[in-house]
Chains A and B, each alone.
Chain A
Amino acid sequence: MKLLTCPMNGLRNIDEFQSFGPVRARPDPDATADTEWSRHLFRAENRKGIVTEWWRHVPSNYFFLAERDLVSNEIICTFDASELRDRA
């Protein structure tokens, strides 16, 4: 079983976590055409490369972010959500 380092709880088996999918830009619902909105809802890009994802540590209900390589499945780093804004 894969390991994942929770920024709050440390190294744990990945079955203690729940994935909430990649961090996505949320289009302004009032300024987006129907077709674009449908793409936002139903289309996942799944491109090769590194993606930033939301994860939840289920026992502590802590949400954080992880950078993962979609090709090698390597988790490059994990960090608290407050850092996302610092990086942006």
Chain B
Amino acid sequence: MNRLLAPFGSRIDRSQPIRFTFEGKPFKGYEGDSIASALAASGQWVLSRSFKYHRPRGILSMTGTDANALVQLPFEPNAAAERTPISEGLRVSAQNVNGSLERDRDAIMDRFGRFLPVGFYYRTFMGPRRDSWLKFWEPVIRRKAGLGVVDTKAPHRHFDKTHLHCDVLVVGAGPAGLSAAIAAAEASVDVVLCDENPEIGGALSYGRYDPAILSGLLARLESLPNLKGLTGTVCNGWYEDNWLPLIEGNRLHRTRAREVILATGAIEQPAVFRNNDLPGIMLGGAAQRLIRHYGVRPGQSAVVLAANDDGYRTALDLLDAGVSVVELIDPRPAGEAGPLEAELRGKGVAIRKGATIEAAEGTAGNRHLARVRIGGSWIACDLLTVSIGQAPAWQLPCQAGGKVGYDAAAGAMTITLPQGPVHLAGAVAGSDDLEDAIASGRRAAAAALARLGHAVADDPQVTAKTIRPRYVQPIVADPKGRDFVDFDEDLQVKDLQNATKDGYREIELVKRFTTVGMGPSQGRHSALATARIVAEATGRTVGEIGITTARPPVGPETLGVLAGHHEALERRTAPHARHIALNAAMKPVGAWWRPYYYGDASSADESVRQEILAVREGVGLLDVSTLGKLEIRGPDAGEFLDRLYTMAHANQPVGRVRYCLMLNEMGSVVDDGVAYRMAEDEFYVTATTGAVARVYADMLFWNAEWRLKVDVLNLTGAFSGLNVTGPKARLVLEALESDIDFSRDAFPYLSGREGMVAGVPVRVMRIGFTGELSYELHCPSSLAPTLWDAVMAAGRPHGLRPYGLEASRILRLEKGHILIGQDTDAITTPDELGFGWAVSKKKPFFIGKRSIEMRARLGLTRKLVGLQFPAGARNIPGESCLVLRGGAPVGQITSVGYSPSLGHHIALAYVHVDDQAEGSRVTVKCRNGELVEVPVVAHAFFDPTNARQEI
């Protein structure tokens, strides 16, 4: 066991042991352990095999951002072992392994590495045939490549989304973020401070600092009720106008901040040398995190590579954790000894200056670090900590418009942000010591507060410090390779050098050719080194090369977090419960639920047939409440409709109903309905169910331009509609208590009346889709169930039957009535529908007029006609089957169905304009490829003279 005693292990609870398995073997850890820390405590250092060469890999950073420590959980692939907590009975396995982690059959790939140069796939798997890649190579390679496995049967998890608003959002709760948040909150603005770690403090929680600093800051934080701390919360992107997703477990906080302070810290960079990827070689911060957060001793015998103070502090921490420090190697030239150096020497640690690690060697199969070479001689060790420099965490700043540069004098990558609502603080802004980071946080808070309109006093402590020059490791390719730049993608120095030799000189091209930075760490450990290699190889500066574009998300995110919980929108008509009580088969039509037919599924066809016959021979009742209903009111209402629709409405008499057809500017049919003039200044207009939202918006848009004196009201939900239709419809309505005279002469076809029916105020229109005598009753929705009941009761002696959508579809098809969107497409003109009668020739203007005139001059190419299949025809084409002429497509079937009234199948179809005449025979290609010949019918299939609707 590598477990240390308290106070080491701030995150773990030693009284709560937890058992779990890794690769089938039992392991023990404590509550608060991550998978990686618990395994490390038990001496299990290998966590995965590398992507290309299947080399053993272990802890590199303890930040959970690289592929080294991704593992498979039963229901989750690619889980970050360094961040995922263990739980009782958790089964963890390694990824990218052929066989087992310990004995990976693909480890042989490591020896054939020279046959796998970069661009290998692009160069190799081109043939022999054009589709070889798709059909053969890709499936083979996919099996070899990739990381975790998705379990499609994983149990559902609950995710949710919420919204968060604040004046100042601080991302990163390290010393800079903490001081920024406190300074902002002390000025009484609303502050949210988020950090991906389970505790507040950042480096103060694991670095070698006086604990009083953190406890002092925490005490101030806790005294500020307007400062909300969100730990365990990842800020995964910056979007326009300070919109940031904060992911707290399964919850997504969609956050809007007026000001944002990014204190995202810096990313420690690995050193480049042969075998720099062996388990046992880790960044200094990883060793410190293991010790302080988890109480895990990171090794027994360590060499420390240190080119900065953090490296020296790591060495002191290792000593405190009982690790024997063989030697500290500082590649910087000898100079004045600082207090940290003196302290180390005082503890007997040998320090070698001006030297570096030249190579490392592993135990059998490279399963762990065995020794490192320094100045030509080998030193045995099982731990090498690397502290040679860092890069600012550029992801969020760059998304917010930051530009990456390189300060050659300081040897540091820099980020500059334009003046605006996003500010940088701490290491991401270049601070490299604690005092400066804290001051930088206060500076950022002052800048944010000033923008929020708060008077900010000059703080003498907050002047920026000049940055000390940093060590820059020279990168030289090892002749034997395995000097990894990108651990995720197994890329070595020479791979990147070769890419530049192949002509890929720009960083974005190098990335795409070599895949550098495309792995889970997204360049966190490779971008800076890559820029330096490309700069060196192409004779340019690092600043000129830059880094590749950083886009959201910052880190991986679960699809569930993005989806959240989503309730499907459902709209119900007022008589909904009536339909359910009548055993209707309800179907969704967009968001609406409508009766498809009434009755059991077992007798669906018979129910539909009965419903159709009821309408043709008796009387039926259809809930048409989903229809769009609009009121156009005002002195210019008639003029307004004249401009919007093709027919004349300004001269439409009060009490009359007119068909209305709407075109777009291109002259294509977009909607239809009826307009009932209730008063000089009031029209009641219907629109199709699916189009009303758009029609309503378009009406408002046009009137924003026209400024006519009209008000448009969408009554779709406010009013409900019941269509009573069939030869006995009048008998039913006359049986109801009403002040309306429903007789043929008093209430002729295409007229409308207002009045009371069964105590319900109604607007009644004599219109209909079925071709039968029809009265459409519209009433306020709260009264619709009552009206439904009254009509049903009055209809009972006459055999009234409610009917559903399928019967309605057939009834209208028998009449050849079109459905906009089903029988029309994006280019349908009124002429193609034979709707010349519906287009006013007298009006000076309506939308689409100019275009249909122009299109008429181009000539008609197709026409919508009826097709009548012989009784007993076996092969009936489906909707959208092609109509052919001379082997070429000229149109398509738009609607098809079996007409029980006629005893055969009928269809609507676009045919060549020369085939529109009655009796022409057209060829249709059925779904099975067979061609059938069908005669054209130029009129309604049923009741061609339209006598029935006017009785």
A and B touch in the complex (CB under 8 A): yes
Chain A residues with CB under 8 Å of chain B are 1-3, 13, 18, 20, 26, 29-30, 32, 34, 37-38, 41, 54, 56, 61, 63, 73, 81
Task: List 16 additional contacts besides A1-B243, A41-B851; criterion CB under 8 Å.
Answer: A2-B240, A3-B240, A3-B241, A13-B243, A18-B697, A20-B701, A26-B705, A29-B845, A32-B850, A37-B851, A41-B666, A54-B704, A56-B697, A63-B700, A81-B704, A81-B707
Residue of B nearest to A26 (CB): B705
Interface membership of B747, Cβ < 8 A: no
Contacts of B49 in A (CB 8 A): none
Q: Complex: how many Å from CA A32 to CA B243? A: 46
Interface membership of B826, Cβ < 8 A: no
Contacts of B241 in A (CB 8 A): 1-3
> Which of B239, B666, B704 counts the most chain A CB atoms within 10 A?
B704
Contacts of A34 in B (CB 8 A): 854, 857
Residue of A nearest to B855 (CB): A34
Contacts of B704 in A (CB 8 A): 54, 63, 81
**Selected A-B contacts with CB under 8 Å, 19 pairs:** A1-B240, A2-B241, A2-B243, A13-B243, A18-B697, A20-B701, A29-B845, A30-B844, A30-B850, A32-B850, A38-B854, A41-B851, A54-B704, A56-B701, A61-B696, A63-B701, A63-B704, A81-B704, A81-B707
Q: Complex: how many Å from CA A38 to CA B851? A: 9
Residue of B nearest to A2 (CB): B240
Q: Complex: how many Å from CA A15 to CA B873? A: 52
Residue of B nearest to A27 (CB): B850
Cβ contact within 8 Å between B701 and A54: yes
Interface size class of chain B, counting residues whose CB lies under 8 Å from the partner chain: 20 to 34
- The smallest beta-carbon distance between A82 and chain B, in angstroms, is 8
- The smallest beta-carbon distance between B687 and chain A, in angstroms, is 15
Q: Complex: how many Å from CA A26 to CA B666? A: 14
Residue of A nearest to B849 (CB): A29
Contacts of B696 in A (CB 8 A): 61
Within 8 A of A (CB), among B208-249: 239-241, 243
Q: Complex: how many Å from CA A3 to CA B857? A: 47
Q: Complex: how many Å from CA A13 to CA B243? A: 10
Interface membership of B665, Cβ < 8 A: yes
Contacts of B254 in A (CB 8 A): 1
Top 9 A-B residue pairs of the complex, sorted by shortest distance between their CB atoms = A29-B850, A63-B704, A3-B241, A2-B240, A1-B243, A34-B854, A81-B704, A20-B701, A2-B241
- The smallest beta-carbon distance between A38 and chain B, in angstroms, is 8
Q: Take A1-B241, A29-B845 as given contacts and tell me if A37 and B850 are in contact as well, using a CB distance cutoff of 8 Å.
A: yes
Q: Complex: how many Å from CA A41 to CA B254? A: 39
Cβ contact within 8 Å between B700 and A61: yes
- The smallest beta-carbon distance between B826 and chain A, in angstroms, is 13
Q: Complex: how many Å from CA A73 to CA B401? A: 14
Within 8 A of A (CB), among B845-869: 845, 849-851, 854, 857
Within 8 A of A (CB), among B614-646: none
Residue of B nearest to A75 (CB): B241
Residue of B nearest to A24 (CB): B705
Q: Complex: how many Å from CA A13 to CA B844? A: 41
Q: Complex: how many Å from CA A54 to CA B705? A: 10
Residue of B nearest to A3 (CB): B241
Residue of A nearest to B241 (CB): A3
Q: Complex: how many Å from CA A73 to CA B239? A: 13
Residue of A nearest to B698 (CB): A20
Contacts of A63 in B (CB 8 A): 700-701, 704
Q: Complex: how many Å from CA A81 to CA B451? A: 31
Q: Complex: how many Å from CA A37 to CA B855? A: 12
Within 8 A of A (CB), among B663-689: 665-666
Q: Complex: how many Å from CA A26 to CA B857? A: 22
Q: Complex: how many Å from CA A56 to CA B696? A: 12
Cβ contact within 8 Å between B701 and A1: no
Residue of A nearest to B665 (CB): A41
Contacts of B854 in A (CB 8 A): 34, 37-38
Within 8 A of A (CB), among B832-887: 844-845, 849-851, 854, 857
Contacts of B697 in A (CB 8 A): 18, 56, 61
Q: Complex: how many Å from CA A81 to CA B702? A: 12
Residue of B nearest to A18 (CB): B697
Within 8 A of A (CB), among B253-298: 254, 256
Contacts of A32 in B (CB 8 A): 850
Contacts of B240 in A (CB 8 A): 1-3, 73
- The smallest beta-carbon distance between A18 and chain B, in angstroms, is 7
Chain A proximity mask over B555-588: 1 for CB below 8 Å, otherwise 0: 0000000000000000000000000000000000
Contacts of A37 in B (CB 8 A): 850-851, 854
- The smallest beta-carbon distance between B161 and chain A, in angstroms, is 13
Residue of A nearest to B667 (CB): A41
Residue of B nearest to A4 (CB): B241
- The smallest beta-carbon distance between B363 and chain A, in angstroms, is 52
- The smallest beta-carbon distance between B121 and chain A, in angstroms, is 38
Q: Complex: how many Å from CA A1 to CA B42? A: 46
Q: Complex: how many Å from CA A54 to CA B697? A: 12
- The smallest beta-carbon distance between A43 and chain B, in angstroms, is 13
Q: Complex: how many Å from CA A26 to CA B701? A: 14
- The smallest beta-carbon distance between A20 and chain B, in angstroms, is 5
Q: Complex: how many Å from CA A34 to CA B852? A: 11
- The smallest beta-carbon distance between B569 and chain A, in angstroms, is 15
Contacts of B256 in A (CB 8 A): 3, 13
